[in-house]
Amino acid sequence: MTNPESRSVHAKRVGPILVPDRTRVLLRPFLPRSEDIARRIVNRVMALSDDDVALLHREVLDEFGDRHEGIEEFLSGRYEAVAHHLAADADPSPERRALIGSYFSHEYSPESAALFNPSIVAHPDQGGLPPGALRFILSLRATGEGHISSIMFRSGTISAQHRIALNPPAPLVSEPERVPDFGYEKALFARKLDEAGARNDGCLRVLAHLPEVFTLEELRRTLAPDRADSGPRGLISEHDARAVLLLAESNYEVSFSQGSQLSQRVLFPSAPSQSNGIEDARFVRFLEDDGRASYYATYTAYDGKITLPQLLETTDFVNFKFSTLNGPAVQNKGMALFPRRIRGRYAMLSRQDDENLMLMLSDNVRFWQEPIPLLSPARPWEFFKIGNCGSPIETRAGWLVLSHGVGPMRKYCLGAFLLDLDDPTRVLGRLREPLLAPNEAERAGYVPNVVYTCGALLHGQEMVIPYAMSDYATSFATASLDDLIAAME
């Protein structure tokens, strides 16, 4: 699309601003460097008098009890994790058990360093709103001690006049529980092993011992070293056993308490592949051909060395399913799923080479094979690289995609381009100049000179764009859809 009358368009900053709140803390396991140290700590607590235990236990509850829900249950669970260090005949009181558990627990502030890289989707519940208003869910990347990233949520409304109001967050935060009986489909699991290059005779022998739908516990029993037919000369080698277990542990389901508030819920890293972070979730409301709606999010799993795109699924933001993405095209960062199938196939934006934008099509949302080149850097503000800023948004003119470009001094700006609705390999137009660039008030942060988003929302004819300011805080901007399209060249 060439528009001889194209003109510049700039997003309007409208606020509000979200800053990190370090007072919201999670209860997390805390372990010393070695089992010997853990055993000595347990023995020291066991040597305390009953009076000292009662006093210390009460001090812990008085100091930390009102900062967490279910703290006594958590401490009891932490005791069970180290109880193997006790003498066989030991039978500590409930207070002593909780006190032992407190020495192997700590508070973690998930957003103490930053609250940024937001995406926004329509809330599943749109009831009780005035005409023209929309309720939304905002996902955010929260970063705390050790540069560990997790996903947190906020909710709010957009009025008919496009004014944005955020609901105050709950004071307490919590993690979900893993669903213990989550089932793995054997055929899908085998295909994932194959795509990961880990499928061999040993893996097939293990799968042959499992039912068509199996649980993690059943897999662990099959791989247990005390099985007569397991081990290097039995079912599978230790190396391959670790690969099979790693795949299973990276595909799982979690569930929050039904009574919890959205802003309480924290998706904290809990799989080996994401041990150092769940980064930059790009949520999208996905509509199936039969009208069923669900929410997907692509995110980057980081284990401290390797980054890999992965997938989240939910229908209610209470229950979440984590899945590995497989195939040769699953590389780098920034995959973004289209909100519906195109000609019966899933479509995804990606950037395998850390420079250019690609498009992928697949029959299965978890497997991606061949990227098709789509866009390359063209303007000075994006010469270093370009990427998507969330899932494409369907408009009458085409698929509208927000992008980011990296220019001189590693400055990040937001742009936009348009793809054909029926054939998204066709680029219809793109902005010549940035839609949003960091201003003087937004330049200072964890990573200076950056504005970034993981997804926007169309409200009527207005684009609502939550965006991060230098990887520290989050705000909002808006832009007219008509003006955006008119500025494309």
- Tell me which residue has tokens 């037919």: 229
Quickly state the pLDDT bin for 239 (edges 50, 70, 90): confident
Task: Report the amino acid identity of residue 369.
Answer: Q
Domain ranges of the chain: 12-21+110-174+262-486, 26-108, 178-249
Quickly state the pLDDT bin for 231 (edges 50, 70, 90): low
| Averaged pLDDT, 30-55 | 97
Yes or no: say if 54 and 95 are a contact pair by the CB < 8 Å rule: yes
Who's near 201: CB < 8 A, 6+ residues apart? none
pLDDT of residue 1: 45
Q: How far apart are CA 11 and CA 160, in angstroms?
A: 18
Residue 222: φ, ψ to 5°: -65, -35
Indicate whether 3 pLDDT > 70.
Answer: no
Yes or no: say if 373 and 349 are a contact pair by the CB < 8 Å rule: no
Quickly state the pLDDT bin for 7 (edges 50, 70, 90): confident
Check whether domain 12-21+110-174+262-486 has CATH 2.115.10.20, yes or no: yes
Reduced to 3 states (helix: H, G, I; strand: E, B; else coil), residue 299 is: strand
Q: Which of 397, 304, 401 is nearest to 349 (CA)?
A: 401
> Which pLDDT tens digit goes with each residue over 279-332?
999 999 999 999 999 999 999 999 988 888 999 999 999 999 999 999 999 988
Rg of the chain (C-alpha set): 25
pLDDT of residue 6: 52
Helices 216-223, 201-208: inter-axial angle, 10-degree rounding:
120
Structure tokens at 429: 């137009």
> Which pLDDT tens digit goes with each residue over 386-445?
999 999 999 999 999 999 999 999 999 999 999 999 999 999 999 999 999 999 999 999
> Which pLDDT tens digit goes with each residue over 348-362?
999 999 999 999 999
